Amino acid sequence: MSCFAGIDIGASTTKAIIINEKKEVLGHSVNNSGADFKAAADQAFGKARENAGREGSDKCIIVATGYGRRNVPYTDATKTEISCHAEGSFHYFPHAHTLIDIGGQDSKIIKIDGTGKRTSFKMNRKCAAGTGAFLEEIANRLKIKLEKLNELAEKAESSIQIGSYCTVFTATEILARIREGIDVVVIIKGIFNSVIKRVLEMDSMEGNIVMSGGVVAYNPFLVEMFEQRIGNKVFVPPLPQLTGAFGAALYALKSKGGLNA
């Protein structure tokens, strides 16, 4: 085998990545998960193979992870998303660290020791506040494209404090701030600060800090704000949204012929 793949089927997006025996990324893809996880996995894996070209045309060992990992019958094995995120993060940062993954529907904090072993993990509340879905809802309320939030937040010279924990109540609070005449860029920066606040309330930050996930991938200014908040450097893997998929591909490579589910 010269082709090793990881497919991360999340509640919001599905990610696929293909690597070779040198752990080099050959191809990758991201698409919406929708209501059919198998179809989403097929699409992501197919696109990743297309991007990998000839090197990705061989039969791959495939490990699936994420919310819909058991909905893909042709994978060789499944692994939990906690395991795969830790594996992917430790590959790039092989030392003790705290991994913060901010996804579409949830946020995770995973603590990893100097050997790559997971020592603890926590997930956010059932409410989507502080996740990608939270930012998407706020963008919709403000009639702003989601991909514009980072650019607008960077322009703000000040911020506001968002007090609400619930996404619905936050939207109401934002409308009140707009009526007060507060500039929308200041409001968006306040929303970013709200995301950071939610993360910091989840668990203590120990050792070096690594951030991953789709929210991090599309909002690098959020990482800068987090650095300012904690007073330390924050590390980000090369493909932050595909950290879990990359970790799954590493497990496929380790197996050299399949893993137990």
User: Is a pLDDT exceeding 70 seen at residue 38?
Assistant: yes
Q: Domain 1-93+241-261 in CATH: superfamily? A: ATPase, nucleotide binding domain (3.30.420.40)
Query: Residue 15 corresponds to which amino acid?
Result: K
CA distance 136 to 60: 35
Structure tokens at 202: 């989840």
Please state which CATH number belongs to domain 95-236.
Answer: 3.30.420.40
- Residue 164's CB is within 10 A of a number of other CB atoms, namely 14
Structure tokens at 200: 């910091």
User: Is a pLDDT exceeding 60 seen at residue 257?
Assistant: no
Please tell me whether the overall predicted TM-score, pTM, comes out greater than 0.75 for this model: yes
CA distance 163 to 90: 35
User: Is a pLDDT exceeding 70 seen at residue 259?
Assistant: no
Higher pLDDT, 129 or 76: 76
What count of residues does the chain have? 261
Signed CA dihedral, 80, 23, 56, 253: sign only:
negative
Two domains, one topology: 1-93+241-261 and 95-236: yes
| Nearest C-alpha neighbor of 193 from the set 163, 171, 166 | 163
Higher pLDDT, 163 or 23: 23
Mean pLDDT across 86-96: 97
pLDDT category of residue 56 using cuts at 50, 70 and 90: low
Domains of the chain, by residue range, sit at: 1-93+241-261, 95-236
